[in-house]
A and B are shown apart, each in its own frame.
Chain A
């Protein structure tokens, strides 16, 4: 019953979620810092647009993605013509979808975390002779880290369960782009209850393990 394809699906799901989390950690931290510490014209509009994935139906988002990164899209066409890269119906496409859907989670957490850092500490570091990069890595980031990490864990959980946008962009190719949540849907739709049961149990156990590991890695609040 638990044949190899289930494990392939699980590893594919983890791969997509980990990539999406990593990308979001870097991008979310950078943009969150920008929005928290720099005011520039259009910053409110930028935040609104970047928060959009949070409120839009994933299918609508998936459609936008198809329009932008599809072979006919401006970005997709450029990627194809320049690098020969095609994102549609690939696991990389699933990463793009999962990244976009979960981005507002890390952006909001990172922004709030950076806003919670006392600017006085950054001033103190500057007077003590630090350059701006050193101020960021030695004062700002360590202070904001627990909040950013919390957002990052949410991102991972959200990416793990991404369904709508992923289905539209990457499709449901077993062993190639079919992630756990899509596989569950397909199994139920096909009346394969035993496979659905197995997938649901695996997904649940995976999530519990993730939460346990996360709890170990990030003792929130008091310790740091």
Chain B
């Protein structure tokens, strides 16, 4: 089992308060957390990465405790060794593709130079067909290229798991399908555990070796009520 999670966490002020309470373990190499927006998917994923601090509970990965409220353990995000793919990619706009990919490999208080390289960087530029745009800034790239840069940046340091936040939602439908296939092959080759959060049922079909349904801040037994698929499903009375 890779992740073992049992956490609770509250966000928001007095007027709009949201409580997340989830407990799950990931037995499969690929886990999809599925649910409508506002269900607490992002909070869950961010907690795994160390970007959110739960107010109770425990998170461990392959037996190593990453967070334990009672024992006051909270391994900082930088030491957890996970790759994280942000929904909007969060590429650094003032850095070129090379610098973005080399960003995490480079220690110290200064950013990598525009010609930054190294074996790992070259390998991922090659593997994800980014050589031609290596000197360009994120704003000059297409949506698909941006996503590949973000993926290369997340994978270049050899993470022990990959966390993906709605990885295909920013792509147009045609590209989405192709990118799913590419990621599928890549994950197979790397044998890397992944946790993906999504509100797109199609992602379950591709990656849902194990699927968790999240709803109103808790794990639901069955898929959320709506099973008919539309582009942006909305749930509940709100």
Contact = CB atoms under 8 A, between A and B. Distances in A.
Contacts of B84: 124, 127
Contacts of B104: 128-130
Interface string B77-121: 111101110101010111000000001100111110000000000
Interface string A91-113: 00000000000000000000000
Contacts of B50: 126-127
Contact of A127 (B78, B107, B108, B111): B78
Nearest to A130: B78
Most chain-A Cβ atoms within 10 A of its Cβ — which of B49, B51, B78, B80?
Answer: B78
A120 B111 contact: no
Interface string A113-125: 0000010110111
A99 to B, nearest CB: 27
B92 A126 contact: no
A180 B84 CA distance: 56
Contact of A142 (B86, B94, B108): B94
A134 interface: yes
B48 to A, nearest CB: 11
Please report whether the interface of chain B is mostly helix, strand, loop or mixed according to DSSP: loop
A131 B94 contact: no
A134 B111 CA distance: 9
B86 A128 contact: no
B110 A126 contact: no
A137 interface: yes
B76 interface: yes
Interface residues of B, number: 27
B109 A137 contact: yes
Contact of A133 (B76, B80, B93, B109): B109
B103 A125 contact: yes
Nearest to B112: A138
A224 B49 CA distance: 30
A127 B94 contact: no
Contact of A123 (B90, B109, B153): B90
B111 A128 contact: no
A138 B76 CA distance: 18
B157 interface: yes
Interface in A129-147: 129-131, 133-134, 137-139, 142-143
Nearest to B87: A120
B94 A138 contact: no
Interface in A70-96: none
A141 to B, nearest CB: 10
Contacts of B88: 120
B109 A120 contact: no
Interface of A: 118, 120-121, 123-131, 133-134, 137-139, 142-143, 224
Interface of B: 46, 49-51, 76-80, 82-84, 86, 88, 90, 92-94, 103-104, 107-111, 153, 157
Given A123-B51, A129-B79, A138-B111, 7 more contacts: A120-B88, A123-B86, A124-B86, A127-B50, A127-B82, A127-B84, A131-B78
21 contacts: A120-B86, A120-B88, A123-B51, A124-B90, A124-B92, A126-B51, A127-B50, A127-B51, A127-B77, A127-B78, A127-B80, A127-B83, A128-B157, A129-B104, A131-B78, A133-B109, A134-B108, A137-B110, A138-B111, A142-B111, A143-B94
